[in-house]
Amino acid sequence: MKCIEVTIWLFLAAVVSAKPPNMVFMLMDDMGWGDLGVYGNAAKETPNLDKMAAEGMLLPSFYSANPLCSPSRAAMLTGRLPIRNGFYSTNAHARNAYTPQNIVGGIPDSEILFPELLLQAGYATKIIGKWHLGQQPQYHPLKHGFHEWFGSPNCHFGPYNDVTTPNIPVYRNASMAGRYYTDFPINRSTGESNLTQLYIQEAVDFIHKSVGAGSPFFLYWTPDATHDPLYASKTFLRTSSRGLYGDAVRELDYGVGVILKLLTQLGVASDTLVIFSSDNGGATYAKEMGGSNGPFLCGKETTFEGGMREPTIAWWPGLVA
């Protein structure tokens, strides 16, 4: 399971490094196993991720703990299976592992999240993008081990025009910075949005700040451009042979390249473990607006290989190859 494998990777990082290593976890949203060139996608539109794999380690048999966003993310951050961390589904009334906008619950306070442990070890911690472990303030990232947050409790659904269902909020730390579609535009007709670029710049600023302060850091980078409704910035729109979904993948690939290049430029690449993965498989129900799960059966929301086998790469120059 992904949650166990990530825990092992991070444990090894602490053991083999002479000093506390920096850690960057890039978690994509609904990206399929077959979306990357290195995994055999014929479009070959992910040069930075392919390069990351060539320089690091490809993990072709890497699994999520659940084929749905919230329980998969909860498992990764707690290192515990969904049935143990509180995010799981049954057939009982209102017992669903997904956390929609109007849910009142979230990640239990009793759960110890990985960033909470890093906080105690003196790390600077930040989440950029989608949280999805509770909408209410008591469940937000700053209550569960993160110093900083720029992103949303949920995905970019909407726009909502009914006054009883406002557009989903975007937060900067504990304060609401605005809402999707109103303050952070997403054009549902063209798919144009600058959100991924904002998430890339937030990552760049956080890494610069952390390296300048001399503190180890944990960056949890969770953009959601490949989750329907899809989006990409103007520079990447209509540049992929795979349509809007491919545009989103190309921009995320670009973001990965920016982050890895920055780590190298700042001289901290050899002190930084980077893991790239996805929360669950591609949404086959989205058809051409969803990802590719390669040769595997089904996708998101199913426990077949396509739903739980994730495109995963580990990168740590000098230590992972």
Catalytic positions are: 69, 132
Question: Cis link prior to 159 (omega < 30° from 0)?
Answer: yes
| C-alpha distances in Å from residue 169, one per residue of 135, 148, 175 | 9, 16, 10
| C-alpha distances in Å from residue 164, one per residue of 157, 159, 168 | 15, 13, 12
Written as one letter, the residue type at 227 is H
Given its phi and psi angles, is residue 197 left (phi above 0), alpha (psi -120 to 50 degrees) or beta?
alpha
Task: For residues 104 and 177, give the distance between their C-alpha atoms in angstroms, rounded to a whole number.
Answer: 21
- Comparing C-alpha atoms, which of 172, 134, 268 is closest to residue 212? 268
* 129 in Cβ contact with 156 (< 8 Å): no
Task: For residues 34 and 53, give the distance between their C-alpha atoms in angstroms, rounded to a whole number.
Answer: 14
DSSP-assigned beta bridge partners for residue 169: 179
What DSSP element (H or E) covers 272? Answer: strand 272-278
- Comparing C-alpha atoms, which of 117, 149, 122 is closest to residue 133? 149
